[in-house]
Structure 1
Amino acid sequence: MQSPLKALMVQGTTSDAGKSVLVAGLCRVLARKGVKVAPFKPQNMALNSAVTKDGGEIGRAQAVQAAACHIEPSVHMNPVLLKPNSDTGAQVILQGKALTNMEATGYHDYKLVAINTVMDSFSRLQADYEAVMIEGAGSPAEINLRANDIANMGFAEKADVPVIIVADIDRGGVFAHLYGTLELLSKSEQDRVIGFVINRFRGDIALLQSGLDWLEEKTGKPVIGVLPYLHGFDLEAEDAIDSQQQLAGTAKLVVKVPVFTRISNHTDFDALRQNPDIDLQYVGKGQSLSGADVIILPGSKSTCADLVYLRSQGWDKEIARHLRFGGKVIGICGGFQMLGRSVADPLGIEGAPGVTEGLGYLDLATTMTENKKLTRVTGTLGLLGQNACVSGYEIHAGVSDINEVQPITLSDGTLDGAVSACGQIFATYLHGVFDDPQAFSLLCEWMGCSNVSVVDHHANQERAINRIADAIEEHLNLERLWPGLGK
């Protein structure tokens, strides 16, 4: 088995146990100690994605983990990305490029082929870096997914890497989670587990000690450490929507985002959610958009289907009323497309072939094409007679014919986005449009509030990464993983 320094895999007892955050923190710890380290996730299922410098698509969690390593993200850090477009199917992306759409049963068999791509990417990272920190997916104890597994123990066995298992004590049942997960593994898989990490503990550690002793005695595996619950901790979510906020008091701006069935890249709104002056609310099924100063239509992996869903919730009527009373509306990517006259999908790229009527507020028509646009961009945003620097990334299959004022001039001279003649609607293909402080301030002024605090999203991310790294250095016995490292 390889040494933990050369390659270490973090698996979890459940989804959202803390795998992504722990890997990011371990990456930063190693980077602090001068180790050339990279993150890796063999298979990721998420609708939050990022664009690499060379125009590939990977999960956002791996882009954050790359930032923790102080390196550029690469397609090899997440060689298989699955983007669900229905309850049973997903778009399959290999080494950054979309391959095809597959149903779950078909993909189960295809994993025997995909493992070759996974191992190719892993080998490349191992050749280029001193250490690779690997993140599993979901839980290794999902009995129905163990055959042909490439995301958890199936990969760990193939790559011959050691594993630590993390569990979230804040969920409850942490000892059952850890003991039960280990028991459901095969003997060879159990042998490669070198220890446990307990995450999000609140209270006096002395009250936990008897449980830790029991777990170590029953399993023969050490508890490497217990990480505390970090209040106010905020790092980009891999897929689950994070709605935690820290409002200063009375919000200066109420922003509502309808949650589509296939909402994508909702991390676009983290800069708004983290701002103490903004009350950002995600509006789910059966809930109302009323009371908003601004409504933002987010991205979608299935734009036409989510247009139908939007209407089924009566949100189209609420948007119409909102605009009649002078409210502002923003559309990002799929939301941009929805605001036009129509969205055509003649090849069935995102669902059944056909044409779906748009909301009709912008003079544009969109056609889905086989070639997905994947690019990172910079440019200038022009609104209210002012200019601001803007940056972001584009991930979309649609090509839009736009007959509106386009407010963003990209660095290559091309134009992006649209502003309605009435001045109440702003739309863009750029994900991350709120992340740049200059663009954030100008957009807030356009939304009707010129005195909103400016929050530096990238600085917040750095603080979060350093907080988890600090906690790891304080509360984990790193000698059990890397004897003598950094001494």
Structure 2
Amino acid sequence: MIQGTGSDVGKSLLVAGLCRHFADRGLRVRPFKPQNMSNNAAVTVDGGEIGRAQALQARAARVALSVHMNPVLLKPQSEIGAQIIVQGRMRGSARARDYQALKPALMADVLDSFERLRAEADLVLVEGAGSASEVNLRAGDIANMGFARAVNAPVLLAGDIDRGGVIAQILGTKVAIDPEDAALIRGFIVNKMRGDASLFADGMAFIAERSGWPALGLVPHFPQAGRLPAEDALALGSYGSRRAGAKLTIAVPMMPRISNFDDLDPLAQEAEVDLVMVKPGQPLPVADLVILPGSKATIADLAFLRAEGWDIDIAAHVRRGGHVLGLCGGYQMLGRRIADPDGIEGPPGEVAGLGLLDAVTRLGGDKRLVAVSGRSCADGVAFSGYEMHVGVTEGPALARPLLRFDDGSLDGAGSADGRIAGCYVHGLFGDDRQRAAWLARLGGQGSSLAYEAVVEETLDAFAAHLASHLDMTAIGRIIGL
């Protein structure tokens, strides 16, 4: 099990790199995260959803996605509450304090999923959540030491030197946690080192001496990590720097409950695209395309969009002849009205949409979780992606659908002039064919980026990076190889 001294120390990527390393050595490897909190999710082959990080780890392990790789997924809907997904399916919602009382009951589901994976694998690589030293959450814990103790998993502790204070991060963990928990930690890793690694040799020795845990490696910063799908919306901030000389500008308002934002990752890698993530307090720039991304709470995010004045910016963008694309929740915002009579995503209610498409949405019913493929209606360009949403959108605008699935059914809607469009399908821009077609429609050169190949090359490169900087012999002994 890889645990961390805090959030964003690189646990997810370390597990992905180790998945690829050991899979390439002939082991049947499965990734596992008992509890995750993310609005960036992936659809599994068994008809559920898991965190996007576990999807990347499964890809690194060269295996199909399963709901059992992330049995508890928390999808934040507000500052203090989240939707609870258990083994791929929604089980309800809870405020943070109430969820603490639910955790012990969820351990049975966590252990059930873990045993299923363990039965089919030579090696299960487990990712912790947040910090190993969150002693205020230790009672009933299912995400870190509570799980490790339940299955007697050896733990490697990862710290992040890039944010500073890594000596205190690791030694502070030793001081804070219960001695029986500390006994499960079999070594530490210092991640994201920039510059001359020899300058921290004494630091590694100091940590090892004071903690009693062996040093398993000092991992240099890996800049290519930005080419991999991000799990946390915080990573979207790295898209904020403007790309000089880009032919096309695509603007995306960053709403608080943005979901499935890996839709944007391929666009960020296009040389001719300046992808501008517009932060609160900033106006939308003059752009060729405005994308309204997915949302975990569409009505709440629409209210935020209006409070920021972005609705006025979008209206001006449309008057200038600009294009707008809504994805999932963003698609719902484009219509005339959104109704949530059962309080699926927040308090029950109904609000006016942006009115750019003649359509209305009613939230409710079962969540649709399915991989899809087909062709765009306008030009017949093939695509593949997935749906992950609740609700039904209806209205005259649907007479101009955006996509036709392989089974003949239709999705999405458009304006009469074709400049406003929306659909429920995620992953369109991850498909090289669709991304090239969209860029060409906007006046670009299309695309020469082979996005899926880039992801594979990056996973291979990171696995080699870890093999060069970690003591894989010692880690192999800890694992029991």
TM-score by length of 2: 0.96
- Report Cα offsets for 1:304-332 as digits up to 9, x if no partner: 11111111111111100100010111100
Q: What does the per-residue CA deviation read over 1:103-149, in whole Å, with 9 as the maximum and x for residues that have no partner?
A: 11221111011010000000000001110000000001113211211
Distance 1:169 1:105, change over 3 A: same
Matches within 5 A, 1:326-345: 326-345=321-340
Instruction: Choose which of 356, 375, 390 in structure 1 pairs with 2:351.
Output: 356
Structure 2 residue 418 is the aligned partner of structure 1 residue 426: no
1:6 aligned residue = none
- Residues 376-391 of structure 1: matches in 2 within 5 Å? 376-383=371-378, 386-391=379-384
CA distance change for structure 1 residues 147 and 485 in 2, over 3 Å: closer, same or farther?
A: closer
Separation (CA, whole Å) in 2 of partners of 1:346 and 1:485: 51
Deviation per CA, 1:216-249, whole angstroms, max 9, x where unpaired? Answer: 1111111101111122332211113334359874
Which deviates the most, 234-243 or 351-360? 234-243
> Is 2:136 the partner of 1:144?
yes
Instruction: Name the SS for the 2:274 alignment partner.
Output: strand
CA distance in 1, matches of 2:76, 2:210: 39
Contact 1:260 1:309 (C-alpha < 8 Å) held by counterparts: yes
Q: Which residue of 2 aligns with 1:20?
A: 12
Aligned to 1:171: 163
Quick check: 2:368–2:387 contact (8 Å CA) kept in 1?
yes
Tell me, in whole angstroms, the C-alpha distance in 2 between the residues paired with 1:370 and 1:426: 24
Partner residue of 1:466?
Answer: 460
> Over residues 370-424 of structure 1, what are the superposed CA-to-partner deviations in whole Å (9 max), with x where a residue is unaligned?
41111111111133xx221111111111111142200211112110111211221
| Structure 1 unaligned spans of 5+ | 1-8
Asked if 1:185 is matched to 2:180, the reply is no
1:226 aligns with 2:218: yes
Verify: 1:257 aligned to 2:249, yes or no.
no
- Which letter maps to 2:251? K
In structure 1, what residue type is equivalent to 2:37?
M
Shift of 1:484: 11
Taking CA–CA contacts closer than 8 Å with sequence separation of 6 or more, which of the two structures ends up with the larger relative contact order?
A: 1
Distance 1:297 1:248 in 2: 21
Q: Which runs of 5+ in 2 are unaligned?
A: none
Which residue of structure 2 aligns with residue 456 of structure 1?
Answer: 450
- Pairs within 5 Å for 1:60-139: 60-139=52-131
Separation in 1 of the partners of 2:93 and 2:338? 20
Contact 2:336 2:360 in 1 (8 A): yes
Residues 316-331 of structure 1 aligned to structure 2 (within 5 Å): 316-331=311-326
Q: Is the 8 A contact 1:42 1:80 kept in 2?
A: yes
Q: Distance in 1 between matches of 2:10 and 2:136?
A: 22
The one-letter code of the counterpart of 2:29 is V
Separation of aligned partners in 2, 1:353 and 1:428: 24
What's the RMSD between the two structures over aligned residues? 1.6
- Aligned partners of 2:396 and 2:78: how far apart in 1? 32
Q: CA deviation at 1:486?
A: 13
The whole-number CA distance in structure 2 between the counterparts of 1:338 and 1:484 is 51
Q: CA offset at residue 54 of structure 1? A: 2.0
Which residue matches 1:40? 32
When structure 1 is superposed on structure 2, of 247-256 and 462-471 the one drifting more is 247-256
Q: 1:274 aligns with which of 258, 269, 272?
A: 269
Distance in 1 (alpha carbons) for counterparts of 2:107 and 2:225: 35
CA distance in 2, matches of 1:349, 1:430: 20
What is the distance in 1 between the residues matched to 2:323 and 2:478?
Answer: 58
Does residue 392 in structure 1 map to residue 385 in structure 2? yes
Paired AA for residue 457 in structure 1: Y
Whether the 8 Å CA contact 1:301–1:350 is kept in 2: the answer is: yes
- Which has the higher mean CA deviation after the structures are superposed, 265-274 or 417-426? 417-426
CA distance in 1, matches of 2:409, 2:392: 14
The correspondence for 2:151, drawn from 159, 169, 172, is 159
Query: Counting helix residues as a fraction of each chain, which structure ranks higher?
Result: 2
Shift of 1:150: 0.6
Compared with structure 1, are the counterparts of its residues 484 and 97 closer, same or farther at alpha carbon in structure 2 (3 Å cutoff)?
Answer: closer
| Residue of structure 2 aligned with 1:51, choices 39, 43, 57 | 43
Query: Which amino acid in structure 2 is aligned with residue 264 of structure 1?
Result: S
Give yes or no for the alignment of 1:295 onto 2:290: yes
Query: Alignment identity in percent?
Result: 46
Q: CA shift at 1:450, angstroms?
A: 3.3
Where does structure 1 differ by over 6 angstroms across 4 or more consecutive aligned residues?
484-487
2-structure distance, mates of 1:396, 1:402: 18
Aligned length, in residue pairs: 476
Q: How far does residue 254 in structure 1 lie from its aligned partner after superposition?
A: 0.7
Preserved contact between residue 349 and residue 370 of structure 1 (Cα < 8 Å): no
The worse-fitting range, judged by mean Cα deviation, of 365-374 and 37-46 is 365-374
CA-CA distance at 1:453 after TM superposition? 3.2
**Partner letter of residue 451 of structure 2?**
H
Cα distance, 1:17 vs. partner? 0.2
